Structures are given as C-alpha cells and as structure tokens.
C-alpha cells in the first residue's frame, strides 16, 4: 500500500532508512523543522538547516522515489530564546517560495512557558499573514494536556487562521477530542516509548472514525522507528479493517491536508489529480 509519513526528521536518519521506507510503500514524507538535539549558536545555523530541508534533503529522498516536503520554524525548545526566535521568524519568508515547503511548523510548546507562548503567537501571526498551513507540536507527558489547551486557545485567538489549515500533532487519548472538535487535523505519533503505539492509534481511529486523522513516526535522532506507519497498517489489517479505511488514514488524509497548500502538487502513482484535490 502506498503511504505517507507526515512527520519524520530525515536529517537525522540514514539513506538506508529512505530505502527501507520506499520498499515498505512510502511515496511521500513531510519533515518539520525541529530541535537538533543541541541549541544552535545563532540564526545562521537555522538558515543552513532551512537550506538543507528545502534542497539537499529533497534530492536525497528523490533518489528513492520519495517526495520530500518540509515545514519551517524555530522549535519550542529554542523558542525560550525570544531574541533568537525573532531573527529566525524574520528569515522564514526567504524560504516560503521553495516548492517543497508546506508551511510553518512544528511550532508549539515544550514546557508551556511564557517565552514559548510568545514565540508560538508570533509564528501564528506569520502563518496568518502569509497564508501558510500550520503544524503544531504538543508537549510531552504531564505537560501535554495543559499545553494542548493553551495551544488551542491561542490558535482560536488568531481569527485569520481557518481551523482546517492547522494540524495538532502528537495527540493522545486525552487530547484528541478537543483538537478534532476545534476543527483541526490531528497527528498520532507512533513511538516505541512515549506518545502513542500502533494499537492505541488503531483504537482511536475506531473510536473517532478516521476523519482528519493521520499517523506518523516522528522518527528523529532518538529511539524511534521510521517504519512505524507500516506497523500501523499491519495492526489495522490484523483487526480486519478494509483497505479503504486504512488508505484514508495513511494516504488520502495527508494528501487532503497538504493539498490546501498552493505549492503542493503531488499525485500518487496510478492516481488522477482528483485525489490530491479531494
Ligand atoms: Zn517532530
């Protein structure tokens, strides 16, 4: 089955991972800008990172027949430095005309601090002003529920942003309903340790029906699995779900969300343009 991994950090993965993903059916992935595992020393570090995401990484993926898209921002961890964040936010528009850029992300909160909220709001303002899609990282563990509430309130406060142009990522059982009820798309992250497992994601698809729901690996430089989306497909098949239901979550939903970006022109093999427009 052709599938999309809508959230994976390929700069931290090997070329062998691209090959294994291609063999497993991955036709497209999207790579949000994130924390490198260490704080960058200044804004030029972000310029080079954005060049990597919009150039080199795209051609690396193409060698395996995988379309590469990306999102740009300064992540919540480094957003604690507001002065640095403002320099990065000012730089982002230089890259917004690159063909593989989907929008602003993954912005969000980490420890739910005042500085993180300030920078989150300024990213939202940029997205609203430039008409970009938004991908939102929600915090981990005990910070997730209050952080998600703060995020949903701030997004609601930016009236120029239509809810269906925002994806709330890393949702879990206690946050998914609020995000869906607010009209957003949601991402369920399939991680070996925290966040969500393929079985819990399948439970949520059964409970909420699959509309506006996506699954991703969020593979990065830590313990994670770039083949987590195929694991979800396997789990859904083993429960007896039909191929159409699975395909909606792993292919059609990300295509519909990304399709709202004017630069997005991907059409899956063997499909007509109408699927991407759906
Ligand atoms: Zn991420």
Split at pLDDT 50, 70, 90, the class of 272 is: low
Instruction: Extract the tokens encoding 49.
Output: 């990172």
Split at pLDDT 50, 70, 90, the class of 191 is: confident
Ramachandran angles phi, psi of 190, nearest 5°:
-95, 100
Kindly give the distance from the C-alpha atom of residue 35 to the centroid of ligand 1, in angstroms, as a whole number: 8
Kindly give the distance from the C-alpha atom of residue 34 to the centroid of ligand 1, in angstroms, as a whole number: 6
Kindly give the distance from the C-alpha atom of residue 218 to the centroid of ligand 1, in angstroms, as a whole number: 5
Kindly give the distance from the C-alpha atom of residue 1 to the centroid of ligand 1, in angstroms, as a whole number: 24
> What CATH number does residue 83 fall under?
3.20.20.140
Number of domains in the chain: 1
Long-range contacts of 176-181 (CB under 8 A, 24+ apart): 176/204, 176/208, 177/208, 178/148, 178/149, 178/152, 179/148, 179/152, 180/208, 180/211, 180/212, 180/213
Asked if the model's pLDDT at residue 187 lies above 60, the reply is yes
Split at pLDDT 50, 70, 90, the class of 224 is: very high
Instruction: Extract the tokens encoding 124.
Output: 């939202």
Kindly give the distance from the C-alpha atom of residue 33 to the centroid of ligand 1, in angstroms, as a whole number: 7
- Burial of residue 77, with CB atoms counted within 10 A of its CB: 0-12 exposed, 13-18 middle, 19 or more buried: middle
pTM across the whole model: 0.95
Kindly give the distance from the C-alpha atom of residue 144 to the centroid of ligand 1, in angstroms, as a whole number: 15
Asked if the model's pLDDT at residue 133 lies above 60, the reply is yes
Kindly give the distance from the C-alpha atom of residue 118 to the centroid of ligand 1, in angstroms, as a whole number: 20
Kindly give the distance from the C-alpha atom of residue 107 to the centroid of ligand 1, in angstroms, as a whole number: 10
Q: Are 215 and 175 in contact (CB under 8 A)?
A: no
**CA 172 to chain CA centroid, nearest Å:** 15
pLDDT tens digits, 44-96: 999 999 999 999 999 999 999 999 999 999 999 999 999 999 999 999 999 99
Kindly give the distance from the C-alpha atom of residue 74 to the centroid of ligand 1, in angstroms, as a whole number: 12
Section 254-265 average pLDDT = 98
Looking at residue 196, what DSSP letter applies? B
Could you list the residue range(s) of the whole structural domain that residue 269 is in? 3-277
Kindly give the distance from the C-alpha atom of residue 9 to the centroid of ligand 1, in angstroms, as a whole number: 7
Give pLDDT, residue 276.
47
């Amino acid at each position: 089955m052709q599938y999309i991994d809508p959230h994976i950090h390929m700069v931290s993965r090997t070329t062998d991972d691209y090959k294994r993903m291609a063999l497993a059916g991955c036709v497209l992935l999207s790579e949000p800008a994130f924390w490198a595992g260490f704080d960058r020393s200044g804004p030029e570090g972000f310029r080079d990172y954005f060049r990597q995401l919009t150039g080199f990484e795209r051609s690396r993926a193409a060698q395996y027949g995988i379309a590469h898209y990306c999102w740009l921002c300064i992540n919540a961890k480094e957003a604690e430095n507001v002065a640095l964040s403002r320099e990065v936010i000012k730089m982002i528009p230089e890259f917004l005309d690159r063909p593989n850029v989907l929008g602003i992300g993954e912005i969000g909160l980490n420890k739910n601090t005042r500085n993180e909220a300030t920078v989150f709001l300024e990213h939202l303002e940029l997205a609203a002003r430039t008409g970009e899609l938004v991908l939102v990282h929600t915090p981990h563990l005990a910070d997730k529920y209050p952080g998600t509430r703060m995020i949903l309130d701030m997004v609601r406060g930016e009236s120029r942003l239509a809810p269906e142009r925002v994806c709330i990522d890393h949702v879990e059982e206690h946050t998914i309903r609020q995000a869906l009820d607010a009209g957003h798309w949601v991402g369920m992250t399939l991680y070996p340790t925290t966040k969500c497992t393929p079985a819990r994601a399948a439970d949520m698809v059964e409970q909420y029906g699959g509309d506006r729901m996506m699954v991703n690996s969020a593979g990065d430089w830590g313990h994670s699995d770039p083949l987590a989306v195929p694991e979800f497909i396997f789990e859904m098949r083993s429960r007896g779900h039909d191929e159409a239901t699975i395909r909606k979550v792993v292919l059609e939903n990300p295509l519909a969300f990304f399709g709202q970006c004017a630069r997005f022109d991907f059409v899956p093999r063997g499909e007509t343009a109408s699927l991407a427009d759906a």
